[in-house]
Structure 1
Amino acid sequence: MALLSVALVAAGAVGEVVVRLTPRLRVNMLMSRSDAALGEVYRPGQRARYSTPEYDHVVVINSHGQHDIEHTWAKPPVVYRVLFLGDSYVEAMQVPAEQIFYRRLEERLNEDAGVQGVRYETIGLGRSGWGPAQELVALEQIGWRYQPDLVVLCFLPDNDFVDSYLPLKQYPSMPYFERMPDGRLVPIPATPDGFKDSWVYGLCKCSQLVCLLRQNVDLLQQMRADAPRVPLRHQVFMEDKPAAWLEAIETTLACVRRMEAMCRERGVGFLCVALTSPVALGQVDLNAQVQRYPAMGGVAFDPAWPYHLLEERLGGVVPYVSMVPTFEQHMAATGKPLHFAKDGHWTAEGHAVAAAFLYDFLTRGKLLQSPAGTR
């Protein structure tokens, strides 16, 4: 028994060294903690390895728990703040912080600062797994503390409807809303996962080997759960959706409209931007997924449907724009994909295209007004 224990410890130590020295394994060393309002947030001030088979780098989380540079809560004088709300696209663990689209946007905007007499500051407030429901809570609990002049909601049609609706998401560790018959949104508080605050969780996160094993087991379990059905992330593109989707869509759109109303009441600008995905840009052919997910056989899909829905339901009601046409034009001109093939998020070039799009749209559309207090 003693020899077996020694052998296991030795094997674990060797495995740990191998994982630490091997690039581009599926390792996420970031640590979270429970939060009464948002369910869970990243522990502030940490540096951790974040890698997949397509990238491998050290992520730095700022003192406010975001993958972004440092920001003060109080807004400095003559500064125009743009707050970006979103999910993993805003979190942007796939690229270094300086390459994130809103960091690039800030740099571009400040090239004009001398002419306009104002300095621009862009702030990211996002987390993987969030949808407009969680982003609405984040705006209420955190976002307003930054005193933003403009709030940009980054909407990802692939999963934002699922992420905002508890009966589909089935993840109670985040906050949601229930839409009443009269249109009111009633909060469904998060049930924080106390394990994220335990010493066992902290100990596990110290081992890259344990993180590697845990993440791959989670991935296999998700693939097994998706095998007999059309995966949730693809259901939004189905022409005939399950009944639960109707309420998921209405609840999500109600959250967006509520955000816009809150901004309007405060005299803050608002913009909803539809992001791109590999499905929307044709990098992923849903009809070719049948071998992995047999339930997708014979199902009719329309990758453009959620974008048509957003244009129909939000266009003219709230300021709204889609990035899809610009990304399609760039891909046609360069022949380069703007999303990682496996991960699915934007590459560094994808972030650059998004930043250029936002710069043109915000400056030409005159959405950038003078900072609050100087109007």
Structure 2
Amino acid sequence: MENYFQFIKPKKIKILLLLTFTWIIIPLFLVEILMIVFEPYLFKGLYQYDPDLGFRVRPYINGNNQFGFNDRDYPLEKDPNKFRLLVVSDSFNWAGGKEGNYTGLLEKKFDNYYGKSQVEVINVGYPGTHTGEQLAMLKKYGLQYNPDLVVLGFFAGNDFRDADPERKRIIVNGIYLDIDKKDELIIFGYPIIGKSRFFMFLQQKYKVYQELQKAKQDSAKLPNSSLIASLNLASAPILEREKSPGILSKKAFLRVEKSRLKFCKIKDLLDGKRDENINYIFQSILKMQKLLKSRNIEFVVAIYPDEYQVNNELLNEIFTEYDDLKPESYNLTCQQEILSKFLAANNIPYLDMLERFKIEQNNRPLYLLREPHWNNAGNLLGADILFDYLVKDTDKFFWENPSPYMEKDRINSD
């Protein structure tokens, strides 16, 4: 009898393993294959894979244009009698939607000043990108517009911090994934990663569910608030939500702001721990300057502040939540100081919005609640600052190139 059980036990184990392989392993493997092959058909969210950029915004979704930018379509052939400028940036070019974003508001200000459509302000930006990635985006899509001037919007909060020279941010089944450029593997036009797409998908949805529950709990404490839900935190379009707590809980938002603040730890800066990121941004800006100069396109850098730099209440919340952070250990405006010094040394025109935002923040909130982007007032202020700075360039253009359309508009208005 003992010999019988010794014989039957291995047999049962083999059967169990065979069943496991047949009913679990094979189906999971097939799911992985299907998620690769049918990705373009199964995942039609805001983003899609791009072999050159890693990802791009899908064209003509949520009102986007042919290149996936948060704007309408413009003819690629520029009218020589009109002034055309591109505003290149990241998710700041999405807050407020197409009409309420600072780029759309800037175009309206030029319309009021010169007459309709004399100055075309084209919004060129993908969320989740830094200057190095925006350079590639400008080369592939932006320069097809043949602009007279390019404004690079640089967000002090994370553009230095995210600028890893080896990073390539790709989109896999609708989810952001940062990979090392050296490890990128493309087979039949698809990125192959060393992780299970299926389990990544489940993990991402669970994280989103958890975060939305926390945000919902926080929203219950706020009057007249409503939750804007999203299936994917990483790929959610930035919507205007003045009275909403956003999609981040308070703790999650403070954690994000803490990570941005830590870039400016004085000791780390002195020890050179940020040099690789900083130099990568510098190289990208110099390449952008050289590229635009070769095409006789003017270049300006606009520096956008992080909320903790202008909102003392938020800054105090960060230091209260994380008592291990000591205010004296941080230079709160290190990003502006580092970048402006570099730009001045290389004769690159720039405008720093920090002081204007500091002043106006005392009068009204300029950022979305628990969101790092501008609200209506912030977008309007950003448009005002850019208009005041750029109008000298547009005045010079129209002085040298009188527009017959402008004269017609003036006659009609009279």
TM-score where L is the length of structure 2: 0.63
Match of 2:98 in 1: 97
Cα distance in structure 2, aligned partners of 1:283 and 1:155: 22
Change (3 A) 1:213 1:342: same
State whether structure 2 residue 133 is matched by structure 1 residue 134: yes
State whether structure 2 residue 61 is matched by structure 1 residue 68: no
Cα distance in structure 1, aligned partners of 2:210 and 2:380: 33
Q: CA deviation at 1:261?
A: 1.7
Cα displacement string for residues 194-246 of structure 1 (whole angstroms, at most 9, x for unaligned residues): 499xxx99xx8xxxx989538759799xx89x97x995422222112274411
Q: Is the 8 A contact 1:81 1:371 kept in 2?
A: no
Q: CA deviation at 1:352?
A: 0.6
Q: CA deviation at 1:336?
A: 0.5
Q: CA deviation at 1:157?
A: 1.6
Q: CA deviation at 1:289?
A: 2.5
Structure 2: 5+ residue stretches without partners? 1-43, 172-176, 214-232, 234-246, 404-414
Q: CA deviation at 1:126?
A: 1.0
Q: Secondary structure at the residue paired with 2:121?
A: strand
* Residue type at the aligned position of 2:209: L
Q: CA deviation at 1:144?
A: 0.9
Cα distance in structure 2, aligned partners of 1:75 and 1:39: 29
Match of 1:235 in 2: 262
Match of 2:242 in 1: none
Cα distance in structure 2, aligned partners of 1:109 and 1:189: 46
Match of 1:111 in 2: 112
Cα distance in structure 2, aligned partners of 1:36 and 1:284: 43
Q: CA deviation at 1:370?
A: 5.0
Structure 1 counterpart of 2:57, from 13, 17, 42? 42
Change (3 A) 1:37 1:173: same
Cα distance in structure 2, aligned partners of 1:356 and 1:290: 32
State whether structure 2 residue 304 is matched by structure 1 residue 307: no
Q: CA deviation at 1:326?
A: 1.6
State whether structure 2 residue 240 is matched by structure 1 residue 213: no
Change (3 A) 1:66 1:365: closer
63-72 or 279-288: bigger deviation? 279-288
Q: Is the 8 A contact 1:78 1:371 kept in 2?
A: no
Q: CA deviation at 1:331?
A: 2.7
Cα distance in structure 2, aligned partners of 1:100 and 1:118: 17
The structure that has the greater radius of gyration is: 2
Q: CA deviation at 1:268?
A: 0.5
Structure 1: 5+ residue stretches without partners? 1-28, 48-59, 179-186
Cα distance in structure 2, aligned partners of 1:144 and 1:188: 28
Cα distance in structure 2, aligned partners of 1:64 and 1:279: 33
211-220 or 236-245: bigger deviation? 211-220
| Structure (1/2) with the larger helix percentage | 2
Change (3 A) 1:285 1:237: farther
Cα distance in structure 2, aligned partners of 1:155 and 1:361: 16
Change (3 A) 1:302 1:344: same
* Residue type at the aligned position of 2:349: P
Q: Is the 8 A contact 2:160 2:335 kept in 1?
A: no
Q: How many residues align?
A: 307
Cα distance in structure 2, aligned partners of 1:323 and 1:85: 16
Q: Is the 8 A contact 1:83 1:148 kept in 2?
A: yes
TM-score where L is the length of structure 1: 0.69
Match of 2:278 in 1: 249
Structure 2 counterpart of 1:358, from 356, 371, 386? 386
Q: Is the 8 A contact 1:165 1:248 kept in 2?
A: yes
Q: Secondary structure at the residue paired with 2:342?
A: helix
State whether structure 2 residue 331 is matched by structure 1 residue 328: no
Question: Aligned-pair RMSD on alpha carbons?
Answer: 4.0
Cα displacement string for residues 316-342 of structure 1 (whole angstroms, at most 9, x for unaligned residues): 52111101112222233xx20101130
Equivalent residue runs for 1:1-375 within 5 Å: 30-47=45-62, 60-90=63-93, 92=94, 94-114=95-115, 119-166=118-165, 172-173=169-170, 194=191, 212-213=208-209, 216=212, 231-241=258-268, 243-283=272-312, 285-286=314-315, 288-290=317-319, 292-293=321-322, 296=325, 300-316=329-345, 317-332=347-362, 335-364=363-392, 369-370=397-398
Q: Secondary structure at the residue paired with 1:111?
A: helix
* Residue type at the aligned position of 1:327: F
Cα distance in structure 2, aligned partners of 1:45 and 1:268: 28
